[in-house]
Amino acid sequence: MSEQVLPLLEAHDVTVRFGGLVAVDGVSANFVPGELVGIIGPNGAGKTTFFNAISGVQVPTAGRLIAHGHNLTGRGPHRFAAHGVARTFQTPRVFPDMPVAANIEFGLKFAGKRRRKYLFWGDEVGVPWALRDAASILSLIGLSAQAELPAAAITPSQQRLLEIGMALATRPKLLLLDEVAAGLTESEIEEMARLIRRLRDELDLTVIWIEHAVTTLLRHVERVIVLHQGRKIADDTPHNVVRNPEVIEAYLGDEMAEPSAEEEEVAA
């Protein structure tokens, strides 16, 4: 039986205004199942605000958000979570006093639960095997050893992994990752990127990834959206985006003036 490929999430002309400041200015984008999309842009471009809008944390001033055909504009974050949108926060927001395993179980018990369908002998249908319980999620992100520690006691980079784990516990279809590689070394960023690709491949997800480590991101994603001062200025493959004159100008030639040899090679 074939399914009509409905976009997972459609953002139509999303605008977010704070008083006089326009943080997101009429951004439209559709996301289909299985994509690995990167969002980049200079500081203040509105990337996190856009995330806030498409996860329900921020009600947009204008525009529409449709998930799987359901209009979710103006609904709260728990409705978005129920429709399979999960996100991480730039600074990890874990529940500090609860043990790591309990942090994961939280998502499993709420949004994660709603999306389960049982066959009559108690097995879950439609949920990836790797997300079946807290223990398997912990081993997926590599935090099994820390399961009983209070979340406040683990290192910040471990907390970042926990953030991802908590988001995965909601059994999402769309995973929003906000600068999960901030402050990591080159090799760590590479590892993170590979983890993200694995998650997308094994768990049947769509991943949208905001990142400042632009070179690494460009190596791993298939599609890049560039935001600048709240507007979308590019939405294309990495290969084309690095050659886009508007994008180059926005970054003032910092990282992207000359496409490096490896970018050429990967994007080709």
Using CB under 8 A as the binding criterion, the count of chain residues that bind another protein stands at 31
Q: Which residues contact 191 (CB under 8 A, 6 or more apart)?
A: none
> Using the rule CB under 8 A, which residue among 7, 26, 77, 128 binds another protein?
77
CA angle 175, 197, 137 (to 5 degrees): 60
Residues 143-182 as x/- pattern, contact with another protein by CB under 8 A: -----------------------x--xx------------
Instruction: Kindly state the smallest distance separating residue 44's Cβ from another protein, in Å.
Output: 16
Tell me whether residue 81 or residue 208 sits nearer to another protein (CB atom): 81
Q: Where are any strands of DSSP class E within the chain?
A: 9-18, 21-31, 36-40, 62-67, 70-71, 85-87, 117-118, 124-125, 174-178, 206-210, 223-228, 231-236
Question: Which tokens belong to 121?
Answer: 């002998």
Which of these segments, 61-69, 76-84, 178-186, 253-261, binds another protein (CB under 8 A)?
76-84
Question: Which tokens belong to 24?
Answer: 């997101």
Residues 42-71 as x/- pattern, contact with another protein by CB under 8 A: -------------xxx--------------
Task: Tell me the CA end-to-end span of the chain in Å, nearest whole number.
Answer: 34
> Using the rule CB under 8 A, which residue among 18, 142, 194, 249 binds another protein?
18
User: Contact at 8 Å (CB) between 38 and 179?
Assistant: no
Q: Is 87 in the site for another protein (CB under 8 A)?
A: yes
> Using the rule CB under 8 A, which residue among 38, 46, 60, 107 binds another protein?
107
DSSP designation for 52: H
Tell me whether residue 88 or residue 216 sits nearer to another protein (CB atom): 88
d(C-alpha 135, C-alpha 119), whole Å? 22
Instruction: Kindly state the smallest distance separating residue 68's Cβ from another protein, in Å.
Output: 16
Residue 235 identity (one-letter amino acid): D
Binding site for another protein (CB under 8 A): 18-19, 55-57, 76-78, 80-82, 86-87, 89, 93-98, 106-107, 109-114, 166, 169-170
